[in-house]
Amino acid sequence: MLSKKLFAITILLISVGAFIFGIHLTFFSNKGLKKTDALITRIDEIYLGHDEDGDDYDYEVYVQYEVDGKKYIDARLDTFEGSYKEGKTIKIYYDPADPSVPHGETKGMGIYLMIAGPVIFLIGLFILLKSSR
């Protein structure tokens, strides 16, 4: 019974953490950064190996954009989304103090975590209440 309670409390803590991290990604991760358009110049597919789920790949996205008249070509983006395609124009963020490092949009994952967190919390709460009986 103690292990079920410990499991439920662990789930509750993880869900709260996921929710808070989702808030951070959605509302604060790009704070202080400026937004601009960037062109995806290439996407490199990197084979990571084969596991029980099949082949595993990572993707490196390179973009081209301009800030204050200076062009940044083949700058590596820190995010990847399935909708990214070479030649597509996307929104990116950059630090005005160092515009050479582009950052991708993080709201999608943040919103997902803000939804998943409470759902997981309810599951953990249900397990905790059920184990208390």
- Contacts within 8 Å (CB) and 24+ apart, 61-64: 61/104, 63/38, 63/39, 63/90, 63/92, 63/102, 64/38, 64/39
How would you class 23 by CB atoms within 10 Å of its CB: exposed for 0-12, middle for 13-18, buried for 19 or more? middle
pTM above 0.85, yes or no: no
pLDDT tens for 16-73 read 999 999 998 888 878 889 999 999 999 999 998 887 777 788 899 999 999 999 999 9
- 99-124 confidence digits (pLDDT tens): 999 998 877 788 889 999 999 999 99
Tokens 């808070």 label which residue? 20
Q: What is the pLDDT of residues 4-19, one digit of tens each?
A: 889 999 999 999 999 9
Domain ranges of the chain: 1-29+106-133, 31-102
Q: Report the alpha-carbon distance of residue 51 to residue 97 in Å, rounded.
A: 42
Structure confidence at residue 2 (pLDDT): 64
In residues, how long is the chain?
Answer: 133
